[in-house]
Chains A and B, each alone.
Chain A
């Protein structure tokens, strides 16, 4: 038997922090960071006698997510307590949802090798996030910060429909973009606002029942997830091929060594003792409420893509990249409105902006300038006010200290020289200084013009209009 005889089965539980202003059961801010224990109150610190009151936006956002992923929205839902002891869980129970989640039976469509595939969603439910454990300076103790305790989460549970790490990657990207589009989560991976528990099992092809699965919890990078799945599947196949058995257990993925490690001792089988939280009342969702939320859903990525191809005549490749992130897509549409040059805007986003983000390790949501400013940059190029090489420098400036591109080029004196007299002066100067090139041109080497233009650009520190230079050199040389 070999690798090819096995099928990998993956199910995901994705936790996404909702972008509400306040926590799920108290009025503390959800803002990331902050001095330890400053976004806290007696409720989220679980002081004796305190009680939870559900944030209405959390319910609305979860329903939104459900509608955007083709879920059936419950008529009646409730909150349950999941009991376990851990220092980041101050009440010793997490308020979650057990048997009556807000959303069920949905799906997300991904495209695998040009073919559409539906990935089933078992459910979406609301719950509260836990706090954070930090380590003290001396490595002797841990320190509990409860700023994150009570930040609202939705947990999106997929069916075991995923068959490869590539599918998982596509699924996660799609899910992330949906959550961004409907503006219920900012999905900032490095802040932990999107995390996944990954369940992996393998089985022989054609086998009906699932293999025994292992789980890797709290992963917050797509790249690590892909690597971890590949490693874990390989490990499981090897164990089985050697006649071994897979233990159902929780594993820890170590990104540095690229391996998974066993995490919990198995005798500690969890029994969460779920039961309905008597401090909270039933959630009833009327048809009217569902309809209102449905109406408030924005245009989804697939529809935008179609529009980009038909309306803006963009290639499918461009369109796919643009819709991959709502921030890209919004940037594109806003800038295009200003400059009316979709292909140019698309090129800027796909090349220079993406490059800049990668270098700075930023996400599209971190782009500091507005879509209008990007549009104006393209206008300046199209009008010939600046060259595209200057425009690259302007863009960098816009990343460092975002302001109007017009203002940047004025401050820096980067306006393109398009005055004929001034250009001619430079051309004559360069010709005089480079007799060899002149001779080369006359000897039939057309390339010499390029060199001369380059020299002229150097002379003007990039500000001369290159088309005019080209034209004028040819005129002078042909005299």
Chain B
């Protein structure tokens, strides 16, 4: 299977990354190399095998429904590239 230019551009769009025209081939090659490498998994028989999302077997980790106010808005906003009226400012969204 070969990764096409269109596919790279589609994936870049999903990931919200720009890929310049002269970079497409390199990204495609890199992706292709790794995909070729991970094809080794095709030879593993995974019939009737369940998926492991993680390695922790515990379940039902819950929090009590009790309010703890963080209470320091300034520190949450201090890294904002642009803010106004204590909100994060971005170009107009319709």
Please list the residues of chain A having a beta carbon within 8 angstroms of any beta carbon in chain B: 20-22, 27-29, 35-38, 40-42, 45, 47, 53-57, 59, 78, 85, 87, 133-136, 139-145, 271, 273, 276, 278, 280-284
Bound-state CA distance A283–B61 (Å) is 8
**Which residues of chain A are near B67, meaning CB under 8 Å?**
21-22, 27-29
Contacts A/B (CB < 8 Å), 15 sampled: A21-B66, A22-B63, A28-B68, A29-B67, A37-B73, A53-B63, A54-B62, A59-B62, A139-B92, A271-B14, A278-B54, A280-B61, A281-B59, A281-B61, A282-B59
**Which residues of chain A are near B58, meaning CB under 8 Å?**
281
**Which residues of chain A are near B77, meaning CB under 8 Å?**
37
**A141 close to B65 (CB less than 8 A):** no
**B76 close to A40 (CB less than 8 A):** yes
Bound-state CA distance A87–B67 (Å) is 26
**Which residues of chain A are near B38, meaning CB under 8 Å?**
none
**A56 close to B62 (CB less than 8 A):** yes
B70 at the A/B interface (Cβ < 8 Å)?
yes
Question: Per-residue CB proximity of B39-67 to A under 8 Å, as 1/0?
Answer: 00000000000010110101111111111
**Which residues of chain B are near A271, meaning CB under 8 Å?**
14
**A29 close to B85 (CB less than 8 A):** no
**A144 close to B65 (CB less than 8 A):** no
B30 at the A/B interface (Cβ < 8 Å)?
no
**Which residues of chain A are near B91, meaning CB under 8 Å?**
141-142
**B84 close to A144 (CB less than 8 A):** no
B5 at the A/B interface (Cβ < 8 Å)?
no
**Which residues of chain A are near B68, meaning CB under 8 Å?**
22, 27-28
B90 at the A/B interface (Cβ < 8 Å)?
yes
**B92 close to A55 (CB less than 8 A):** no
**Which residues of chain B are near A273, meaning CB under 8 Å?**
14
B34 at the A/B interface (Cβ < 8 Å)?
no
**Which residues of chain B are near A87, meaning CB under 8 Å?**
88, 90, 93
**Which residues of chain A are near B61, meaning CB under 8 Å?**
53-54, 280-281
The one of B51, B65, B69 that contacts A56, using a Cβ cutoff of 8 Å: B65
Contacts beyond the supplied A56-B63, A136-B84, A141-B90: 7 A-B pairs with Cβ under 8 Å: A22-B63, A55-B62, A56-B64, A57-B65, A144-B88, A276-B51, A280-B61
Bound-state CA distance A47–B64 (Å) is 22
Bound-state CA distance A141–B51 (Å) is 45
**Which residues of chain B are near A281, meaning CB under 8 Å?**
54, 56, 58-61
Distance from A478 Cβ to chain B, minimum over Cβ atoms (Å): 72
**Which residues of chain A are near B62, meaning CB under 8 Å?**
53-56, 59
Indicate whether A85 sits within 8 Å of B73 (C-beta atoms), given known contacts A56-B64, A135-B92, A143-B89: no
Bound-state CA distance A47–B88 (Å) is 14
**A278 close to B53 (CB less than 8 A):** yes
The one of B14, B63, B76, B92 that contacts A141, using a Cβ cutoff of 8 Å: B92
Interface centre among A20, A22, A271 (most CB of B within 10 A): A22
The one of A29, A37, A134, A280 that contacts B76, using a Cβ cutoff of 8 Å: A37
B87 at the A/B interface (Cβ < 8 Å)?
yes
Bound-state CA distance A460–B84 (Å) is 60
Bound-state CA distance A47–B77 (Å) is 11
Q: 3 closest A-B pairs (Cβ-Cβ)?
A: A41-B70, A143-B87, A56-B62
Bound-state CA distance A141–B63 (Å) is 37
**B65 close to A20 (CB less than 8 A):** yes
B4 at the A/B interface (Cβ < 8 Å)?
no
Distance from A434 Cβ to chain B, minimum over Cβ atoms (Å): 67
Chain A minimum-CB-distance residue to B79: A47
Bound-state CA distance A133–B90 (Å) is 10
Bound-state CA distance A78–B50 (Å) is 15
Bound-state CA distance A36–B60 (Å) is 33
**B73 close to A40 (CB less than 8 A):** yes
The one of B14, B63, B73, B87 that contacts A144, using a Cβ cutoff of 8 Å: B87
**A276 close to B86 (CB less than 8 A):** no
**Which residues of chain A are near B70, meaning CB under 8 Å?**
28, 40-42
Distance from A470 Cβ to chain B, minimum over Cβ atoms (Å): 59
B16 at the A/B interface (Cβ < 8 Å)?
yes
**Which residues of chain A are near B59, meaning CB under 8 Å?**
281-284
Interface centre among A20, A37, A133, A280 (most CB of B within 10 A): A37
**B92 close to A140 (CB less than 8 A):** yes
Interface centre among B63, B68, B89 (most CB of A within 10 A): B63
**Which residues of chain B are near A134, meaning CB under 8 Å?**
87
Bound-state CA distance A136–B69 (Å) is 27
The one of A40, A55, A283 that contacts B60, using a Cβ cutoff of 8 Å: A283
Distance from A28 Cβ to chain B, minimum over Cβ atoms (Å): 7
**Which residues of chain B are near A45, meaning CB under 8 Å?**
76
**A54 close to B63 (CB less than 8 A):** yes
Distance from B65 Cβ to chain A, minimum over Cβ atoms (Å): 4
Bound-state CA distance A87–B88 (Å) is 9
**A136 close to B85 (CB less than 8 A):** yes
The one of A20, A37, A282 that contacts B87, using a Cβ cutoff of 8 Å: A37
